[in-house]
Amino acid sequence: MSGETEKVRIFLVEDHPVMRLGLKMMLQERGFHVCGEAASTDEAFKALSAAGAEVAIFDLSLNGETIFEVLKQVRYRHQSLRIIVYSMHDSQLFVENAMKIGVNAYVTKADPVETLVDAIAAVRSGRQFLGPTLTKSLAERLDGGSLAGSTNDLSERELEVLTLLGRGFGRTEIAASLSLSTRTIETFVERIKSKLNVNNNRELLREAIRITHPG
C-alpha cells in the first residue's frame, strides 16, 4: 500500500461488532490506519480527542437512535475532522440534515463498502461526497420533477417528527418514542405544516412519506 494512505488515521463509530470489524479489515487491507473505534456515542466522545484521527466514519444510528445532535457536537469540538456517515438510511431528509450539520460525506450501506475509500479521498481533498446510490436517486428525482420541497427550515426535532410520520407512527407513538407529550408533538406537527406549506394532515402524511421514502 502507498505511503499516502498509510498516513490517514481513521476512527470508526459503529455499534454492530461484525460490521465494525469488517470495516476495519477493509480499511487496513487498503493501507489506512484505524486509530480508534467506538460502539457508542459515549465511547466516541472519550476516545476521539486522543485518537488524532483525520477522518471519522459514523453509523447514523447507534443503539436504535439517530445521532444528528452527536454529529453536531463532534463537528463543533473537532472542526478539522473529516466526518463520513455510513448508514442504512438513504432518505433525502437524512442526507440534507447531515450535510447541513457539517458532515463531509454520506455513503449508504447499499453501496459497495469500497465506496468509503473514494469518500475518504474526496473529503481529504476538501470535497463533499455522496455515494452512488444517493447520486442516482437524486438524479432520478430531478429528471422526474419530483424532488421534495425543501426541509431546510425544519429544526432537528421537527425532522425527527416528520420522519416518524413518514414511517407510519401515530402522534401518541411519536410522543412515546421521543419522550415528549402528545400536545408537544401536535405543536411540532402544526409548525411542520406551516413550513412545508401543506394544508391538512392528509397532505402532510403524503409529503412525509414522499420525503422519507424517495424514489
**How does strand 61-62 pair with strand 82-87?**
unpaired
- pLDDT digit string (tens) for 179-213? 889 999 999 999 988 888 888 888 888 878 776 66
d(CA 3, CA 211): 43
Continuous segment of H or E residues that includes residue 122: helix 115-124
**Angle value at C-alpha 133, between 1 and 122, nearest 5 degrees:** 40
d(CA 170, CA 181): 13
How is residue 57 written as a grid cell? Answer: 466514519
User: Which domains are present in the chain?
Assistant: 3-142 (3.40.50.2300), 156-212 (1.10.10.10)
Residue 54's pLDDT is what? 96
| 34 bridge partner residues | 10
- pLDDT digit string (tens) for 6-15? 579 999 999 9
- pLDDT digit string (tens) for 139-179? 454 444 444 445 667 777 888 888 888 878 888 888 888 88
**Angle value at C-alpha 125, between 4 and 31, nearest 5 degrees:** 25
